[in-house]
Amino acid sequence: MVRYKLIIEYDGRPYVGWQRQSDAPSVQQSIEGAIFKLCGEECYVTGAGRTDTGVHATGQVGHVDLPRWYRPDTVRDGLNALLVPHPIAIISAEERQDGFDARFSAKRRHYVYRILNRRAPPAMAQGFVWHIKRALDADAMHAAAQQLVGHHDFSTFRDSDCQANSPMRTLDQIEVVRIGDVIEIRTSAQSFLHRQVRSMVGSLEHVGSGKWDAADLWRIFQSRERAACGTVAPPDGLCLVHVDY
């Protein structure tokens, strides 16, 4: 068996997420189908992040053990040809034989959430941003967000279906930056709870719109009550952009 590291990009809209499901299409299932056509054997692809329904990726990382050696560019180009017409691309393939594991070797995962903050709706970015017409104060959102950095109980921002053993997580970084009409919320951590990023973004939107201030965000965060969370942001704007190893 030969292990390959894959860098993967995808439009998450047609899928129930990364993870294979028995009754709906997933990114993992689509890639595994292409691998079967390439090598004639069923092979399991492990992803660094189990992105949720409708969530995108430009820097997802996966690994797969193939039954025989292929040139890395053959793996990349062959899978891309076999993935048509799925909106999935293998950006690179690299042979790895050092115990590399896409999930467990990951040191940090980086996500970006994009909000289009203008009156006019998106034309080119439809499905890839959260469109909010009312003006948002990105500076206020950034300042309030810094309270979330560090090792905390993130129960407020934890989905009720989350299967993690503990709500404790360490948020290494969260930045809110305005670039013209787009507000980017950039987050980094070794791991996230189910829908944690979208939950944090939805609550930060309340700060940006003036519904809450920084003290309100801290209060609901410290309550550790899921019901206190703001409206969960839609998946459209969320993208896994990079994984550190």
Among candidate residues 209, 182, 56, 198, the one with its CA nearest the CA of residue 122: 182
Beta strands in 167-210 (DSSP E): 168-179, 182-189
Residue 96: strand, helix, or coil = coil
Q: For 179-200, write each residue's pLDDT tens digit.
A: 999 999 999 999 999 999 999 9
Residue 160's CB: how many other CB atoms inside 10 A?
Answer: 8
Predicted model pTM: 0.95
Q: Using CB atoms within 10 A of its CB, is residue 17 exposed (0-12), middle (13-18) or buried (19+)?
A: buried
Domain with CATH 3.30.70.660 in the chain: 108-244
Q: Return the DSSP state at 7.
A: E
Tokens 């070797």 identify what position?
Answer: 105
Percentage of the chain beyond pLDDT 90 is: 96
In contact, 7 and 91? CB cutoff 8 Å: yes
Mean pLDDT over the full length of the chain: 96
- Averaged pLDDT for residues 12-16: 97
Q: What whole-number distance in Å separates Cα of residue 118 and Cα of residue 163?
A: 37
- Averaged pLDDT for residues 233-237: 97
- Averaged pLDDT for residues 43-65: 96
Domain with CATH 3.30.70.580 in the chain: 2-95
Q: Which residues are catalytic?
A: 52
What pLDDT, on a 0 to 100 scale, did the predictor assign at position 30?
Answer: 97
2-95 CATH fold: Alpha-Beta Plaits (3.30.70)
What pLDDT, on a 0 to 100 scale, did the predictor assign at position 51?
Answer: 95
Q: 33-68 as b/e, with b when 16 or more CB fall inside 10 Å?
A: ebbeebbeeebebebbbbbbebbbbebbbbbbebee
Whether residue 155 has pLDDT greater than 90: yes
Q: For 102-151, write each residue's pLDDT tens digit.
A: 999 999 999 999 999 999 999 999 999 999 999 999 999 999 999 999 99
What pLDDT, on a 0 to 100 scale, did the predictor assign at position 79?
Answer: 98
Whether residue 71 has pLDDT greater than 90: yes
Residue 243: strand, helix, or coil = strand
Instruction: With cut-offs at 50, 70 and 90, classify the pLDDT of residue 163.
Output: confident
What pLDDT, on a 0 to 100 scale, did the predictor assign at position 98?
Answer: 79
In contact, 88 and 9? CB cutoff 8 Å: yes
> What CATH architecture applies to the domain 108-244?
2-Layer Sandwich (3.30)
What pLDDT, on a 0 to 100 scale, did the predictor assign at position 197?
Answer: 98
